[in-house]
Chains A and B, each alone.
Chain A
Amino acid sequence: MKLVIDEDRCKGCNLCVLVCPYAIFQEGSELNSRGVVVPVLDRPERCTNCRLQHLYGRVLCGLCHMICPDQAISWIEEKPFEPHRVEVEF
């Protein structure tokens, strides 16, 4: 699961910034092509829903996408995690 903000719908009200208990949403600083400052996501993998929704089979917090007046926030399924080698340099 992954949190996404639909930039075509977001009007930059920052209500998500106000309600997120994990401070995942941060006020943005750059105007997008529609002239809206869309919030940015800070380490969205910390979101409870992203981590645990499948385990519990229901929405756990969801305040951001409930309060988003512009229906711009949703979770999308990610591709299954593929293990890959990480080269560690000493």
Chain B
Amino acid sequence: MIAPDWFREDRLPHIYCAGCGNGTVINCTLAAVEEMGWKRNETVFVSGIGCSSRAPGYILADSLHTTHGRALAFATGVKLARPDLNVVVFTGDGDLAAIGGNHFIHACRRNMDMTVICMNNQIYGMTGGQGSPTTPQGAFSTTTPYGSSEPAFDLAELAVAAGANYVARWTSYHVKELTKAITTGMQTPGFAFIEVRTQCPTNFGRHNKLRQIPDMIEYLRGHAMHVKKYDRLLEEGKPIPEGTFTVGELARRNRPAMGVRR
């Protein structure tokens, strides 16, 4: 296991289903924390509600497991009151994009100095697989039994537009790249947003012919395209396959940030 010092080993195994990508994202985050050399008494993990938000409960550090959608608002309070603490927020697509959408864009706008890791499984997993704002159009879930009729949010692009200093997207399959992106996000002053497309074979895959874990991984791998390749294809006017999402670093800039350690 990665970073054994950072796990509450008395709480493992965690509650995630077999094949869930969230555990992988915890590994990558803690590997990045170790690389940063952060200490336990200067690191706070904050989360909201949902599968993703159970993550801080397995991490041996101060952690705040809050109400649905409000993780970023709580984290803003923590960071402003104690700028010397490193704040990492775990959130999910429902938590961040649906109920917490307002807090998300405002935290990006303020450019709060924190690292936000969104485990985007494109579904409400904890409640049993209901359609979320990131469920792709046409995808099935328990509340979109005839296929989702709504367009989905692109969270990383939203963060870029709202002003985050660092934005990247990877999948829970790309563990090395993801760890590097999280580390870079932690090093960047200001709001760092890392969207992780995670597999949810239990609730997303089940309704979308991706019930087997390798199928779900193959789906993520097959639809991920590096942003540079994507831009090149666009430039050359070549067709981009349907359902493709970009991965890689989408923004790195130096807007003025709030809550940076003085």
Contacts and interface: CB of A to CB of B under 8 A. Distances in A.
Q: Do chains A and B touch in the complex (CB under 8 A)?
A: yes
Interface of A: 6, 8-9, 11-15, 18-19, 36, 63, 65-74
A56 to B, nearest CB: 16
Contacts of A70: 12-14, 16, 23
Interface residues of B, number: 28
Contact of A13 (B4, B26, B27, B213): B213
Interface string B210-229: 00011001000000000000
Interface of B: 1-2, 4, 7, 12-14, 16-24, 26-28, 31, 172-173, 175-176, 179, 213-214, 217
Given A13-B19, A66-B179, A71 B1 contact: yes
A65 B13 contact: no
Nearest to A61: B176
A71 B2 contact: yes
A7 to B, nearest CB: 11
A8 B14 CA distance: 11
Contacts of B12: 9, 70-71
Contact of B1 (A14, A18, A74): A74
A70 B1 CA distance: 9
A66 B7 contact: no
A73 B217 CA distance: 19
Quick one: which of A6, A18, A36, A71 has the most chain B CB within 10 A?
A: A71
Contact of B16 (A6, A69, A73): A69
Given A12-B18, A66-B31, A66-B175, A71 B213 contact: no
A85 to B, nearest CB: 37
B13 A15 contact: no
Given A18-B214, A67-B27, A71-B7, A9 B13 contact: yes
Contacts of A73: 1
A45 to B, nearest CB: 21
B1 A72 contact: yes
Contact of A68 (B1, B17, B173, B213): B1
Nearest to B7: A71
Contacts of A19: 173
Given A9-B12, A72-B1, A73-B1, A66 B213 contact: no
